[in-house]
Amino acid sequence: MRALEVVDLSCRYRNSSWILKDISFYVRAGESLAIVGPSGSGKTTLAHCISGIIPNRIPAEFRGSIRVDGEDLSSSPIRERISSVGVVLQDYELQIFGLTVEEDLEISLREGGDIEWILEFFGLEKYRDYYTHELSGGLKHRLVVASMMLSDPKYIVMDDPLANLDWNGRRIIAKTVDLLKREGKGVVLLTRKLRGLEDVIDRVIYLGQSNRNPLRGLRIPRMCNGNYEGPVIEFNRVYFKYNKERDYVLKDITLSVRKGEIFAIMGPNGSGKTTLMKHINGLLKPSRGSVIVKGIDTRSVSPASMSKFVGMVFQNPERYFVSETVWDEAAFGARNLGLGEERVEEALRMMGLLDRKEDSPSSLSMGEKIRLYAASVLAMDPEIIVFDEPTTGQDEETLEQMREVIGRLSDSGKTIVIVTHDSDFAVSVADRLAILKDGTIYAEGDPLKLLRDDRLVEEAGIEPLSMRGEVNAS
């Protein structure tokens, strides 16, 4: 049988319990298999085992076998697996090697190949000359998938393929899976949800799902009480560009966020969401216009000064980890601000990580890493907290934890800004929503009213509400 086979696979890290235990499955050539599991269920560990990252790069106890078309690759080095099995990692930025988009694609190009079709297929034509560091997270993810397709392996494993992608990006992933199947490739997708991929998945396996209620975490939209003080964040006719040769990334942005409000920002990949977010704590300064936070013009102060009252929870949290244990990582910022560690335990408890306090941050799943980063920010007790894609890697249970934490923070007077692609999440937590498109504010107002407008959602290129979201929002 032509297939990628995983047989009796077990894996655990040093001084840990088994992450995977006696896992067996196969995916045939020309078939797609989705492996669905909650945060921390072992999806990324499984991807590392199939690719050879475990045990060749990450030390771990590994049992069982990985077979490709009958050949056992379990003891093969990574370089010998590449032509057979390509992997798109959850931390996809580790797989970007070129300075520009075009250069990165050419690195993966087979002799006699052509990148023009792949640029068009993935919607990257206008970015071909961009430096890769200029791309948004979602566009970087598309680039890595595109590069993997050009390298032409027999089987492709994608770990969390929908992370940081807008609705159009999900459609592109679905088209990619369909194309790979038609070309006779086998595709394995490791994910926490299937929305947008239902029509191209042939089989589904659930990993670590016992005794879990898939409906847990659904709730009606947050009902704001309107008892807000004046604006704590103000954007006044803000324009921003990264360099003189590029167009403006933000154009004439005017908005305000009130104290105690939960304000969500949505928009397609490359619309300027993260760029806007980085203006709140002064990491970026407006090219024109002004950003006023708590009465302070961010152009006049450093990001370090702003960090005393603005906490940022970024994408890709592992970039910022500096400590050897979960506890020390959660306490790092508070210690540096001279605040002590009184809030650390409560922050870890709120994020469901107190029982992992002695573990290494590197042993956590992506969803757990994001929650650890959030805990480190909560421990500093800032007045304003900005979350960039907090739903990445989360399952329904941990999403419910995030909803509860955000609601409690707002009730205590904190101001919350959330950048997300998840429409259901935005409706369930936000008081107001701004939708960005091409660097401008395309729409602003009540989240449920905006996201129930099918025409607006389609034109803006954002995720529609799910059927469950529609019913529970009624």
Q: Report the number of distinct structural domains present in the chain.
A: 2
Residue 377 maps to a domain: no
**125 and 264 co-located in one domain:** no
Per-residue pLDDT, averaged over 300-305, amounts to: 92
Q: Which pLDDT score is estimated for 369?
A: 87
Q: What is the pLDDT of residues 321-350, one digit of tens each?
A: 889 999 999 999 888 888 878 889 989 998
* pLDDT score of 181: 96
* CA distances from residue 293 to 251, 256, 386 in whole angstroms, order as listed: 19, 10, 13
DSSP notation for 62-80:
EEEEEEETTEE-TT--HHH
Position 186 scores a pLDDT of 96
Q: Does residue 374 lie in a domain region?
A: no
Q: What pLDDT, on the 0 to 100 scale, is given for residue 221?
A: 41
Q: How much is the average pLDDT of 4-23? A: 91
Query: Is 358 part of any domain?
Result: no
Of 25, 21, 23, 27, nearest in space to 4 by CA: 27
50 and 105 share one domain:
yes
Query: Could you tell me if 113 and 242 lie in one domain?
Result: no
Q: Is residue 353 part of a domain?
A: no
| Lowest-pLDDT range of 55-69, 265-279, 399-413 | 399-413
**In terms of domains, do 143 and 289 share one?**
no
Determine the pLDDT at residue 302: 93
pTM of the model: 0.73
Residues 127 and 240 in one domain: no
Within this chain, do residues 200 and 245 fall inside the same structural domain, yes or no?
no
User: 169 and 289 in one domain?
Assistant: no
Answer yes or no: are the C-beta atoms of 414 and 383 closer than 8 Å. Answer: yes
- Asked if the model's pLDDT at residue 246 lies above 50, the reply is yes
- Do residues 47 and 109 both lie within one domain? yes
The model's confidence at residue 474, banded by pLDDT at 50, 70 and 90, is very low
Assess whether pLDDT exceeds 70 at residue 472: no
Q: What is the pLDDT of residue 229?
A: 63
Given a cut of 80, whether residue 316 has pLDDT beyond it is no
pLDDT tens for each residue of 380-389: 999 999 999 8
405 pLDDT higher than 80:
yes
251 and 398 in one domain?
yes
| Residue 286 pLDDT | 97
In whole angstroms, give the CA distance from residue 428 to residue 223. 9
Same-domain status, 181 and 253:
no
Q: Which of 3-7, 105-109, 470-474 has the lowest mean pLDDT?
A: 470-474
Residue 242 or residue 223, greater confidence: 242
Q: What is the pLDDT of residue 218?
A: 31
What is d(CA 120, CA 141) in angstroms, rounded to the nearest whole number?
A: 15
Has residue 36 been placed in a domain?
yes
Tell me the residue range of the domain where 456 lies. Answer: 231-309+382-472
Residue predicted with more confidence, 270 or 112: 270
Interval 144-173: pLDDT, tens: 999 999 999 999 999 999 887 888 889 999
| Gap between the Cα atoms of 143 and 185, Å rounded | 19
What CATH number did the domain enclosing 182 receive?
Answer: 3.40.50.300
- Are 300 and 420 members of one domain? yes
Task: Note whether 163 and 90 are within 8 A (CB).
Answer: yes
The side-by-side arrangement of strands in the sheet containing 3-12 is 20-28, 3-12, 61-68, 71-72
Could you tell me which residue, 135 or 112, shows the higher pLDDT? 135
Let me know if residue 154 belongs to a domain: yes
- Considering only residues 298 and 169, tell me which one the structure prediction assigns the higher pLDDT: 298
Does 210 score more than 90 pLDDT? Answer: no
Residue 437 counted as domain residue? yes
**Where is the domain boundary, 173, 206, 239?**
206
Q: pLDDT per residue over 409-428, tens digit each? A: 888 889 999 999 999 999 99
Average pLDDT along the chain: 88
Instruction: Please tell me the distance from the alpha carbon of residue 441 to that of residue 117, in angstroms, as a whole number.
Output: 32
Cβ atoms of 447 and 262 closer than 8 Å: no
* Residue 99, domain member (yes or no): yes
User: Which pLDDT belongs to residue 395?
Assistant: 78
Q: Give the mean pLDDT of 226-242.
A: 84
Mean pLDDT lowest among 51-65, 109-123, 459-473: 459-473
Give the range among 25-34, 233-242, 388-397 with minimum mean pLDDT.
Answer: 388-397
Helices 366-378/396-411 angle, 10° precision: 10
Residues 151 and 262 occupy one common structural domain: no
Please report which confidence band the pLDDT of residue 467 belongs to, taking 50, 70 and 90 as the band edges: low
